[in-house]
Chain A
Amino acid sequence: MATLLEISGLTSHYGRIQALKGIDVTVAEGELVALVGANGAGKTTLLRCISGVQSVTSGSISFAGQDITKMPPEHRVGLGISQSPEGRQVFGPMSVEDNLRLGAYRRHGPSIKADLDRMYEMFPILYKKRELPAGTLSGGQQQMLAIARALMANPRVLLLDEPSMGLAPLLVAEIFRTIVALKEAGTTIFLVEQNAYAALAIADRGYVLETGSVVLNDIGSNLLANDKVKEAYLGL
């Protein structure tokens, strides 16, 4: 499998506070890679760096062999990096359909309509509510909208930040089923989760992040069996 996303020695700061201390992560084409870790470990910061909305202090990010460390965020979307951000971040007053169409902002042509129909097929509730303001949807529906909006960019890699946060267990299961289905359809996914058990259970490989550094890096099932991971993140 060809490496799609390669992050090496990445550091990033919020003011004087160092959030990432030299991260090395790779994601290969077609892989589902999970990044788990406690609150404040730097998971969201790493995704923000990949999308280009957080400035990188040193290190590099390359995508499909191209160095994108300094590329503006909108061009990264054009290359195929799409993110469903933490906290959903839907365009609240705008309709569900406008949210989805904005997801395809960098694209042109009739394939957008086909993808829109595909999203409605995947998330029938969004079709039912397509004319309502996105802000009136429930948390779970907004999460589906955020994922669908990210998919509308027709991404080569989908970055998912805490898709299960704040959702009822039934909905969490549904979101994870969706992620598995996307992976099976061939989408490359980089999944960031606090829900380490669920994330590692479906991931090909996983990284464990602690206060800005990768402390473990293995295939998903090995991490699930790892005593240190069990103790720290799975509550076993």
Chain B
Amino acid sequence: MFAAFLQYLFSGLTSGAIYALAGLGFAIIYNSSQVINFAQGEFIMIGGMSSATLVASGVPMPLAISLAMLISMAAGIALEKFAIEPARNSDVVTIIIITIGASIFMRGAAQLIWDKEFHSLPAFSGESPIAVMGATLMPQSLWVFAVSGVVIVALWWFFNRTMFGKAMLGTSHNRLAAQLVGVGVKKVLLASFALSALLGAVGGIVVTPITFTNYEAGIMLGLKGFSAAVLGGLGNGGGAIVGGLIVGIAEALASGYLSSAYKDAIAFVIILFVLFFMPNGLFGKRGTDRV
């Protein structure tokens, strides 16, 4: 009984950590531009696909992983430079639709560059499962937890301890004030896309040994990251992390106790629930400001 629960919890936490990273990616771009970037999932896919094919073609794993992160960041920067920035005077909704178009484009490009097959990456440190109180934990899951933890701490440090991080935060709180103290908001926007792409890539790379990846793996991962961000309160970093873990655990429990057929539905049930009953999410800003 308990062993089964623990097993579901492990698998939920593993996917939840990836949703949390994706959710953080949504939050960072949303904060700097009020745009919801529906190409976030494609960053995850590009990270996974690039690292998998590079390793398969004989590139040593650490180098392949670094290259995959760079490739994904380049995709993020290109998206901002060539699709978002030229439209910067348009409505937010217009820009969101541009990101949907960009995600379709990236999936198409991935089909051409790679193929429609599933790709995998060898586990970072072996495949022998670890027994924990009757349940088993794959070593790769530990990698997922550790890497996500390190990324979250690094992000916290970046936003709270570096001037550029603070400038990005400041821009999200008050764009006009940020401009008036000399923050280049164009640079902030570009950095937010690069950072979100990097987060997505990291998530995509560490999870590929467990889940495999293909050209359209980004759709589901992106949408679940989006539900994590909405559940936590759009634009709230801590909320995105908690939201990601909740979505991951909820879907693992639902597929364990109900039916695995419902696994993918859970994230969407959560979105609907949030939108109906608490549109600000768990930790979102209330719709009021002191003036």
CA distance A101 to B290 in the complex (A): 23
- The reply to whether the CB of A93 lies closer than 8 angstroms to some CB of chain B is yes
- Please determine whether B182 and A106 come into contact, CB atoms closer than 8 angstroms: yes
- The reply to whether the CB of A131 lies closer than 8 angstroms to some CB of chain B is no
- The reply to whether the CB of A91 lies closer than 8 angstroms to some CB of chain B is yes
Smallest Cβ distance from B167 to chain A, in angstroms?
Answer: 6
CA distance A150 to B289 in the complex (A): 23
A45 CB contacts on chain B under 8 angstroms: none
- The reply to whether the CB of B131 lies closer than 8 angstroms to some CB of chain A is no
- Please determine whether B173 and A93 come into contact, CB atoms closer than 8 angstroms: yes
- Please determine whether A105 and B180 come into contact, CB atoms closer than 8 angstroms: no
Q: Which of A52, A74, A78, A85 is close to B177, meaning CB atoms less than 8 Å apart?
A: A85
A89 CB contacts on chain B under 8 angstroms: 174, 176-177, 180
Q: Which of B181, B184, B289, B290 is close to A102, meaning CB atoms less than 8 Å apart?
A: B181
Q: Which partner residue on chain A sits nearest B169 by CB separation?
A: A94
A153 CB contacts on chain B under 8 angstroms: 181-182
- The reply to whether the CB of A72 lies closer than 8 angstroms to some CB of chain B is yes
Q: Which partner residue on chain B sits nearest A47 by CB separation?
A: B180
- Please determine whether A105 and B181 come into contact, CB atoms closer than 8 angstroms: yes
- Please determine whether B163 and A105 come into contact, CB atoms closer than 8 angstroms: yes
Q: Are A102 and B180 CB-contacts (below 8 A) given A87-B291, A90-B174?
A: no
A74 CB contacts on chain B under 8 angstroms: 179, 182-184
Q: Are A91 and B174 CB-contacts (below 8 A) given A102-B166, A102-B167, A135-B290?
A: yes
- The reply to whether the CB of B256 lies closer than 8 angstroms to some CB of chain A is no
- Please determine whether B166 and A94 come into contact, CB atoms closer than 8 angstroms: yes
- The reply to whether the CB of B279 lies closer than 8 angstroms to some CB of chain A is no
Q: Which partner residue on chain A sits nearest B164 by CB separation?
A: A105
- Please determine whether A101 and B180 come into contact, CB atoms closer than 8 angstroms: no
Smallest Cβ distance from B179 to chain A, in angstroms?
Answer: 5
- Please determine whether A94 and B180 come into contact, CB atoms closer than 8 angstroms: no
CA distance A108 to B2 in the complex (A): 57
Most buried by A among B170, B181, B183: B181
Q: Which partner residue on chain A sits nearest B167 by CB separation?
A: A105
- Please determine whether A103 and B181 come into contact, CB atoms closer than 8 angstroms: yes
Q: Mark A145-156, 1 if CB is under 8 A from B, else 0.
A: 000011011000
- Count contacts on B: residues with CB < 8 A to the other chain: 19
- Count contacts on A: residues with CB < 8 A to the other chain: 29
CA distance A48 to B180 in the complex (A): 9
Q: Which parts of B36-88 form the interface with A (CB within 8 Å)?
A: none
A105 CB contacts on chain B under 8 angstroms: 163, 167, 181-183
CA distance A106 to B178 in the complex (A): 11
Smallest Cβ distance from B53 to chain A, in angstroms?
Answer: 40
Q: Are A91 and B290 CB-contacts (below 8 A) given A53-B180, A149-B181?
A: no
CA distance A94 to B172 in the complex (A): 11
CA distance A149 to B183 in the complex (A): 13
- The reply to whether the CB of A82 lies closer than 8 angstroms to some CB of chain B is yes
Q: Which parts of A90-125 form the interface with B (CB within 8 Å)?
A: 90-94, 98, 101-103, 105-106
CA distance A83 to B289 in the complex (A): 22
CA distance A106 to B166 in the complex (A): 13
- The reply to whether the CB of A19 lies closer than 8 angstroms to some CB of chain B is no
Smallest Cβ distance from A180 to chain B, in angstroms?
Answer: 23
Q: Are A98 and B180 CB-contacts (below 8 A) given A90-B174, A91-B174, A92-B290?
A: no
- Please determine whether B170 and A94 come into contact, CB atoms closer than 8 angstroms: yes
- The reply to whether the CB of A77 lies closer than 8 angstroms to some CB of chain B is yes
Q: Which partner residue on chain B sits nearest A72 by CB separation?
A: B184
Q: Mark B186-208, 1 if CB is under 8 A from A, else 0.
A: 00000000000000000000000
Task: List A residues at the B interface (Cβ < 8 Å).
Answer: 51-53, 72-74, 77-78, 82-83, 85, 87, 89-94, 98, 101-103, 105-106, 135, 149-150, 152-153
Question: 24 pairs across A/B with beta carbons < 8 Å?
Answer: A51-B179, A53-B176, A72-B184, A73-B179, A73-B180, A74-B184, A77-B181, A82-B181, A83-B180, A85-B180, A87-B291, A89-B176, A91-B169, A91-B177, A92-B289, A93-B173, A94-B173, A101-B163, A102-B183, A105-B167, A135-B290, A149-B181, A153-B181, A153-B182
Task: List B residues at the A interface (Cβ < 8 Å).
Answer: 163, 166-167, 169-170, 173-174, 176-184, 289-291
- List 20 other contacts, CB 8 Å, given A94-B173, A98-B170: A73-B179, A73-B182, A74-B182, A82-B180, A89-B177, A91-B178, A92-B173, A92-B289, A92-B290, A94-B169, A94-B170, A101-B163, A102-B163, A102-B181, A102-B183, A105-B163, A106-B181, A106-B182, A135-B290, A153-B182
